Amino acid sequence: MRLAVVTPTLGESRWLAETVASVATCAPDAMHVLVAPAAAVAPLSEKFPRTTVLPDPGGGMYAAINAGLVASAGVWDAFTYINDDDLLLPDFSAVVRAVSPAARTRAPLIAYGGVRLIDAHGARLGAIPISPAPRLNRALYSQRLEPVYQHGTVATRAVFESVGGFDTAFRLCGDSEYLARACLHGIPFACATRREVAAFRLRAGQLTKNRAPMGAERDRVDKKLGLPAPTPRQELRVARWRFRLANLAIYAERIRRHGFVTFDGLLERAG
For 240-261, the pLDDT digits (tens) are 999 999 999 999 999 999 998 8
Report percent pLDDT > 70 for the chain: 95
* Mean pLDDT for the stretch of residues 174-186: 95
* Mean pLDDT for the stretch of residues 218-223: 88
Work out the mean pLDDT of the chain and round it to a whole number: 92
Helix H or strand E encompassing 67: helix 61-71
Residue 231 has pLDDT above 60, yes or no: no
Return the axis-axis angle of helices 61-71 and 174-184, rounded to nearest 10°. 60
Domains of the chain: 3-269 (3.90.550.10)
Whole-angstrom Cα distance, residue 231 to residue 235? Answer: 7
Q: Residue 78 pairs with which residues in a beta bridge? A: 3, 156
Burial state string for 28-53 with b = 16 or more CB within 10 A and e = fewer than 16? eebbbbbbbeeebbeebeeebeebbb
- Reported as a single tens digit per residue, the pLDDT across 87-145 is 999 999 999 999 999 999 999 999 999 999 999 999 999 999 999 999 999 989 888 88
* Mean pLDDT for the stretch of residues 145-162: 96
Helix then strand then coil, in percent of the chain rounded to 5, is 45, 20, 35
3-class SS at 216? helix
Residue 150 has pLDDT above 70, yes or no: yes
pLDDT at res. 213: 78
* Mean pLDDT for the stretch of residues 175-183: 95
pLDDT at res. 207: 61
Residue 269 has pLDDT above 80, yes or no: no
- Reported as a single tens digit per residue, the pLDDT across 17-41 is 999 999 999 999 999 999 999 999 9
- Which CB contacts under 8 angstroms, 24+ apart, belong to 257-263? 257/125, 257/126, 258/125, 258/126, 263/128
Return the axis-axis angle of helices 233-246 and 248-258, rounded to nearest 10°. 60
Which residues, including other chains, have CB under 8 Å from residue 88's CB and lie 6 or more apart?
A: 5, 22, 23, 25, 26, 27, 82, 197, 198, 199
Report which DSSP code applies to 122. S
pLDDT at res. 237: 85
pLDDT at res. 205: 67
3-class SS at 69? helix
* Mean pLDDT for the stretch of residues 32-61: 96
Is residue 22 within 8 Å of residue 121, measured between CB atoms? no
Of 11-20, 65-74, 87-96, 224-233, the range with the lowest mean pLDDT is: 224-233
Task: State the distance between the two ends of the chain, measured CA to CA, in whole angstroms.
Answer: 39
Is residue 247 within 8 Å of residue 130, measured between CB atoms? yes
